[in-house]
Amino acid sequence: MKRLWQICFADTRVGFDGLKESPPILFPAIFSLICLTLQCVVFLVLIIDWDATSASDSVSNESWLYVNFALMWAVRSVLYPVAFVCTWWFITSMYYFGIARLFNISTSWKNWLGFSCWSSIPLITVPVFLVIAIAVQAIPIPGREVDPWYIETISTCMLAVPFMWCTFISALGLRSWTEAEGRGNVYWRIVAFVPYGLLLSAFMIFGVWIMRWA
């Protein structure tokens, strides 16, 4: 937990300095998946609108159909984010590994997988910031027909926070692991921004769609 705090909040550069030789993979992976799963479960409990009439009749076919549908939807809502995060670790580890090989940096793919797990930990806060962004959109403003520009801006900034956080951590981590090769901070910031910039763009489209229907 000390390393987690150091990388995400205190001194990212120093935190990655101690991970270069053999970065743990299981701890950040399990921590991220547990936190993400718990958030999804909590949000599902708050979001699902149970039909009191059908739920009270436990023997009716409609009730069982409703319960089965709700359970299937809940399982998918938990499994999809978990599967996405695991896929993201694999994609970004291959990306960093390819960039490293391009410049003759002999860091193994397994180490880059650990790097991806550690540097993407802030992604577990995406559901929280998504809820905050939706809540901002729901702020009652008397007489408004459309959201004012500042409401849209605040919501967008809320959605961007986890991705910019990951970009910041990744850039410092890349600089820490490749300092001997002489690449500057600007270069690694660009390298770190590419995957999270693309992910942010895709998520913005999804987030705006969700907020429009919220």
Q: How many domains does the chain have?
A: 1
Across 105-120, average pLDDT: 88
Write out pLDDT tens, residues 45-62: 665 554 444 444 444 445
Confidence of residue 68 (pLDDT cuts 50, 70, 90): low
Cα-flanking dihedrals φ and ψ of residue 91, to 5°?
-65, -50
Note down the domain range covering 49. Answer: 2-213
pTM: 0.76
